[in-house]
Structure 1
Amino acid sequence: MPGGTFAGWAAEVDLQLVELDTAAADERFGTQQGMLVRTDRFGTWWSPGFAEDSPVFTAAPVQIDPAAEEALGGSEALAGAATGVLVQSILHVLDTPLLLEADNSRSGEIASALVESLGLDEAFLPAFDDLFAENPIAGALVDGEGLPEQYGMEPLPYPEDGHRMHLLDAVTEVEMLELPELTGPLLLASSRGALPVETAEGERQLVCTATFGLALAVDGRRALMLFATGAAPSVHLEDPTALPVVAGTAVPEDWEEHTLRDLSVALPPGLGDPEVSEIALNFSAGERRATMARHRLPIPSPYPLAATRNVARAQIPGAELAAIEHGRGPGGRFSVGVTVHRGDEQFSVRLHDLADDESALFAHQLLAGLRLG
């Protein structure tokens, strides 16, 4: 059957792997000990802080909607608001104390911290509490287990006098959101970071990606928070363009097309209805789980790979790079993931809960149904 095997794909033994230089990343962003002492079941650490000349504070948003700028009161007010959202998203979303917890019982800490640090009206707190209670900030709990149980990992000992999360990339953008229930500027902050963990295969970097958004109604009476996160122990590839190129096969007639911004992809039936936001689609109510997410982040170098049993790339019109991974996913079954890069936009599609003998066929069918507008 066409696409029924991973013939022509690279295996981990074929890859030119390199170490992630977290010290260089810390120097680039001026990352240092922050002001918050954090704890989880594995220990205590400090939140990250940043030097005054860090790009976290000095970099301008990569995209600004003029209507959003006007609604926020001009360029200076917009820059301050975007920086504030970025900093708090790094502290409370990317480096959340819930990242490695066994469950989501501490979810109430997130909304209260964000409401306070962003200076929002406490009247918004109940709705935001519900958001983080219903959608674990560390990602989906599989069989009620946290990330360490899902991946068989533990963090290396946290530094006693420093930060655990090394910031790798950080980008902001400002859009104008127009929904029936809310019209106003949407401040989006995307970040990528890493912290060292120990797995059965040895030491890895847990690469974490987060996009957090805050929308404020023009009349100030409504606010909206949204987020998309992902984390997995990863190895790093020196040159992803050296991966072999593979092509899709054909999309089965019963697969359904889903769209997130400029990315359209056909997914198998039985996933259930997705939870939808401006930056993600999450399918968790069916026989398999799947996610689609969009982050405003550049192509990372070196390039992280979470699943390395079989790896390749595809040539997708309009994309600079599309990497495809297959391997063990959360919950012990197999996952297939496609990450598509266009400029400083990153789109990801993940299909989980696959059997080993069906993974290759699903991977090639997934590629066949993927389009970038």
Structure 2
Amino acid sequence: MSAFPTALPAARTPDPMAAPVLRWGVVGTGWIADRFVRSVQRHTRQRLTAVGSRDTARAEEFADRHGIPHAYGSYEELAAAGDVDVVYIATGHTAHLDCARIALRAGKHTLVEKPLALNAAQASEIAQLALERGLFCAEALWTFFLPKFDVVRQILESGVLGDIRTVLAEYGEHFTAGHRILRADLAGGPLLDLGTYPLSLATWILGAPAEVLALAQPHPAGVNGQTSALLRDAAGNQGIVHTTLFGDTPTTATVVGTHATLSLPGPFYQPGDLVLTLAGSGTQLTYTEPHTAHDALHFEAAEVARCIDAGRVQSPLRPLDDSVTTLRVMDEIRRQCGIALGGSPTPVNTLAPVTDPA
């Protein structure tokens, strides 16, 4: 165990402006695609060269709005474009697998918006296809690429927390009628969307659980409304996660160790503060960064560019194994709670983890 520090470490995140320049194609024209493009254009030298949609008019409007040179009326056309090095998939969840197949089979490095896929079997297929083709692939779970989370990483690695016994994380949000998250045909419900954040945090810190206990409540819209899960590792340490569509929650996270506690005020998955507290003393250290919300999406793009330039096929900040593990836990939660996925039963998945040979 490391002694309690006199100051918190600085983030080691490289300057996004210094990342090698790649040519990006964006698949999808929705809310997250808009935020991603705006952030990348503001804070990096990456080139946005193309956008693709199943609707040519939507692609052209998006391209005009963001100054992107090329607009395509199909995902296949974008993936075949000669001036695209890496494809960012920003479609809805249900299209992630098909779009990743298109991009990877076309020989393009690929960044897939979270969740990587609908379930662990699909995620493993994406990961295996990327590795077989020697292409970079990652889940665009932007949280793990933020400077704040590099500080979290250093705190965990230092051992200052002592033995980590508990991870608490939750995320709840209110949505109006008609939102895609309330549509069963679009794999709605909180688990694949909001729930990705608390579950990925818990599985990152505690590893794949030895046991999962889950409860759920339906939403009147016909999707799951809220889910709580208890994760236990082989040593008995526990992760407690909750996600809900029934209303806004503080969206905080806490990592409890035998010697110190790390607190991430809400929204914990975005840029912001963290607090390290020495057990039994009240002594605290605080890390603060601007609360820039989704304007920080560019950090993931810069990491992708650095990895591809270095010849890596995965990012150590969010390896594909981690993405598969998170989805495997979601599969088990759905199985226990009887939650259908897009009207179909959730498959049981026991695929072996995929590792980066590089």
TM-score, with structure 2 as normaliser: 0.27
Q: Which has the higher contact order (CA 8 A, sep 6+)?
A: 2
Give the helix-richer structure, 1 or 2: 2
More strand by share: 1
Relative to the length of structure 1, the TM-score reads: 0.26
